[in-house]
Amino acid sequence: MSMAFISDLHLEPTESKRVKVFFQFLDSAIDKYKELYILGDFFEYWIGDDDMQAINKLIMQKLKSATNSGLKIYFIHGNRDFLVGSKFETETGVEILKDQYILNIENKKIMIAHGDTFCIDDIEYQEMKKEIRSDSWKKDFLAKSIDERINFADSLRAKSKKRNSNKPENIMDVNNEYVLKVIQREKIDILIHGHTHRPAIHKLPNGSIRAVLGSWEKDGWVAEYIRHNIELSSFSM
């Protein structure tokens, strides 16, 4: 089965080179893959399905065209686009999956995740995530006007960037002991995730594989499931 995994494109609501590169990738994916998995932070921010800025509409139309062509596309929420909801699903044909979703393929168990759930040493981040993922917070936020939500998202990104600049690098990476614990508990052969922007293939002590996707900045990154293995590659943007 031909499958591809991407994450951390951080598409912004202004048409950029990154959006164009993704559209080119998606066009090629229709013929190359049966399934495409987007593992969060697809958008730089998503403030609700009712934010129909021109570029958001264009991206959704492009996804709908791809799913209509037979490409199955799946989506896992990231920390920047956790408000992608049912309207987005309906209008794009993309199916939203829960985080740490398990695929059973060719006698292998593959876990896919955004990746931030494994960064347990960043206590400040995990506490903030717990707050803004609550139903009450989301309800209050979505009740605000589009402009208020955009301003809040901009402010939150600026604060996050400032906080992260003062944090040790290891805190913002996954906790390897916790990753191994989850993999052994769930009997996972391959874990695929993004979030950390540290693309690599790691072989774990128990023989399992951890594939980390890269952020689409200077290069685009894609992991492909080929011949019972996961392969990570990049292409120039």
CATH number of the domain encompassing residue 85: 3.60.21.10
Other CB atoms closer than 10 Å to residue 53's CB: what's the count? 14
Regarding predicted confidence, which is higher, 121 or 16? 121
Q: What is the pLDDT of residue 171?
A: 81
What are 185-196's pLDDT values in tens digits? 999 999 999 999
pTM check: above 0.85: yes
Average pLDDT, the chain: 94
- Bridge partners of 6, per DSSP, are 38
Q: What is the pLDDT of residue 161?
A: 77
Domain residue limits at 87: 3-120+176-236
C-alpha pair distances (Å), 5 with each of 106, 157, 230: 17, 25, 10
Query: Within a domain: residue 154?
Result: no
Query: Within a domain: residue 143?
Result: no
Query: Within a domain: residue 7?
Result: yes
In angstroms, the CA 47 to CA 45 distance is 6
Structure confidence at residue 29 as a pLDDT band (50, 70, 90): very high
Query: Within a domain: residue 216?
Result: yes
What are 130-177's pLDDT values in tens digits? 999 999 999 999 999 999 999 999 998 888 877 766 677 778 899 999
In angstroms, the CA 83 to CA 95 distance is 14
First-to-last alpha carbon distance for the chain, in angstroms, is 27
What are 6-27's pLDDT values in tens digits? 999 999 877 688 999 999 999 9
Query: Within a domain: residue 163?
Result: no
Q: What is the largest CA-CA distance in the chain?
A: 50
Domain total of the chain:
1
